[in-house]
Amino acid sequence: MIKIAMFDTKSYDKPSFIEYGKQNNIEYKFFEVHLNEDTAHLAKGFDGVCVFVNDVVNKEVINILYSYGIKLIVLRCAGFNNVDTKAAFGKIHIYRVPAYSPYAVAEHAMALLLTSNRRIHKAYNRTRDYNFSLNELTGVDLHNKTIGVIGTGKIGKVFINICRGFGMNVIAYDKFPDQSSDIRYVSLEELFKESDFISLHCPLTEENKHMINDETIKTMKKGVGIINTSRGGLIDADALLKGIKERKIGFACLDVYEEEGDIFYQDKSGHILDDDTFRNLISMPNIIVTSHQAFLTKEALNNIAETTTENIVKYFANEVNTNEVCYHCANIENCKKKRKLQCF
C-alpha cells in the first residue's frame, strides 16, 4: 500500500481520491492544514505528498520532506508557481495535472464577465430585498466588443471559442503563439490598447509577474473590464485598485489574488481581514471576487483525482511521465521530457 499525505484537503476533494486510491492500492491521508515549514513534519512516514495551489513548497519544505525520504510530490493542479522546482531538482520528483477541465475555468471566466457586465450580482441582491429598480444596472452588448485573451493554451482556446459564440472580436497574445490556429495574435501593447475586456489565461512566471500594473493600465481603454482566473500575481493589486478608483477600469473579476494563500478556501466571516488592499478591492461595487473556484466542477474534481493517482502509480512503476515538471520547463532546450526521459 502506497501512503500519500494530502495537504489542504477539503470535503469535496475526498470522495474521488478515496475511490481512485482504492482502485490503485493507494492510501490517501487527508490533512486540512496547508503544507508549510510548520506542518511538513506531518508527512513523516509517508511515501509521497499531494499538494494544492496555496501549499508552500519552498526550499525549506523540500529539504524537510527530503530528510524524511520523500521523493515524490504530486500537485493536484496545473500551475506549479508555488513549488521551488530548482530546490527540488535531483531530490524530489514533481508531477502536476496539466489539464483537468479547461471548460470549467473558461466557463467560469465567461460567467464572471457576464455577471459583471450585466450587474447580475447587484440585481440578485436587489430583488431579494424587493428593490426592482434598474438604476445603475446598464451593461453593454458583448457582440462586436473586442476581448483580449492573454495565453492561448488549453483554457485560453476554450475561452476564445466561447467568446466567438457571443460574436465578440477576439485578439490574443501568447509568448509562444499557436501558428497552426486561426487566432489573431497581436503584441501585448496592442492588446492592452484595443481591448474592451482582457482575460488572463497564462501561467505566472518571473517575467510576467504584475503584467497588469500602473504603466500597462495607463495604456488600456477607459472602462476596460479585466478578468483573472489565472494567477493573482499577474496583477499588481494596488495598481488595480488605483485604476478602479480613477474610473479607468470599468470592472474587475478576480478568481485569484496574489496574497490569497491565507484567505481563500476558508470561512473568514466574522474575522477582520488584515489585507487592506484586498478589503478595499472587495468593497468596490464593480469588483467580483470568487475564491479560486474556477476549476470547481464535478468533472474537474474527478479528472484531478484520476490523473494524480496515475502520476503516483507511474512514479512507483518508474515510468517516464510527461506530467513531471522541473525548473527546465522554463527553458525548453534543456528539457529531458522532450527526449522521453525523466527530469533527473
Residues classed as catalytic: 231, 260, 292
Please, what is the minimum distance in Å from the beta carbon of residue 177 to ligand NAI? 8
Q: Which is nearer to ligand NAI, 39 or 82 (CB)?
A: 82
Q: 271-282: buried (b, 16+ CB within 10 Å) or exposed (e) per residue? A: eeeebebbeebe
Please, what is the minimum distance in Å from the beta carbon of residue 155 to ligand NAI? 3
Among residues 203, 225, 232, 250, which is the contact residue for ligand NAI, using CB under 6 A? 203
Q: Which of residues 209-248 bind ligand NAI (CB under 6 A)?
A: 229-231
Q: Which amino acid is at 269?
A: S
Among residues 61, 64, 83, 155, which is the contact residue for ligand NAI, using CB under 6 A? 155
Among residues 198, 256, 281, 304, which is the contact residue for ligand NAI, using CB under 6 A? 256
Sheet bearing 249-254, strands edge to edge: 169-173, 146-150, 197-200, 224-228, 249-254, 287-289
Q: Which is nearer to ligand NAI, 64 or 252 (CB)?
A: 252
Q: Which is nearer to ligand NAI, 26 or 234 (CB)?
A: 234
Find the part of the chain contacting ligand NAI (CB under 6 A) among 13-21, 24-32, 111-119, 150-158. Answer: 150-158
Please, what is the minimum distance in Å from the beta carbon of residue 22 to ligand NAI? 26
C-alpha cell at position 188 = 501585448
Q: 116-137: buried (b, 16+ CB within 10 Å) or exposed (e) per residue? A: bbebeebbeebeeeeeeeeeee
Q: Which of residues 167-186 bind ligand NAI (CB under 6 A)?
A: 173-176
Beta-bridge partner residues of 238: none
Among residues 8, 236, 255, 310, which is the contact residue for ligand NAI, using CB under 6 A? 255
Among residues 168, 294, 326, 343, which is the contact residue for ligand NAI, using CB under 6 A? 294
Question: Rounded CA gap, 301 and 306, in Å?
Answer: 9
Q: Is 78 an interacting residue with respect to ligand NAI (CB under 6 A)?
A: yes
Among residues 96, 154, 328, 337, which is the contact residue for ligand NAI, using CB under 6 A? 154
Among residues 42, 99, 114, 335, which is the contact residue for ligand NAI, using CB under 6 A? 99
**How many chain residues are in contact with ligand NAI, going by CB under 6 A?**
30
Residue nearest to ligand NAI according to CB distances in the complex: 153
C-alpha cell at position 196 = 474592451
Catalog residues that contact ligand NAI under the rule CB under 6 A: 78-79, 99, 102, 105, 150-156, 173-176, 201-203, 205, 207-208, 229-231, 255-256, 292, 294-295
